Amino acid sequence: MTDYAHLDRLSKTIIENRVLETGTDKQRIRLVVRSCILFFCKTIKRVEDIETLKNGDIVSIAIPQLSDFHYALEHWQILAEQNQTRIKYRAELQPSFYIPPLIGPWLVKFKIRDELATSTAILENLARS
């Protein structure tokens, strides 16, 4: 999850990912994602600062001036549960681009959940190999 130079392995929608700056606990990355919902396709750019907290949580905050978001915060928790791992994801996203009314927040949330499910399945396969 923290191999930021290779995030494109987790999703076909990521068409570009680049580490811009590296610190001890912080990284600045650039992501370009191409995704479609029904007839609406969009290439979305996001530059974000990602921090790994002492408890292992991962928090990313988009830089609005360099992104297609007025505001974007993602919080990932990776929790050990018996002999398995649980990933909890929370996001607050305020895009700076137009989303047609027919699409709306419900379909966007559905698409994000679907993409997260696909990415976690890929992550599980990568962890096994």
Question: What is the residue range of 123's domain?
Answer: 4-128
Angstrom distance (rounded) from CA 13 to CA 34: 5
Report pLDDT for 11: 93
pTM of the predicted protein model: 0.86
- Domain of 81: which CATH number? 3.30.530.20
Report pLDDT for 74: 97
Q: What's the pLDDT tens digit per position in 57-116?
A: 999 999 999 999 999 999 999 898 888 888 899 999 999 998 888 888 889 999 999 999
Number of domains in the chain: 1
Instruction: Name the DSSP letter for residue 53.
Output: -
Residue 25 pLDDT class (50, 70, 90 cuts): confident
**SS3 assignment, position 7:** helix
- Picking from 4, 8, 13, the residue whose alpha carbon sits closest to that of residue 111 is 13
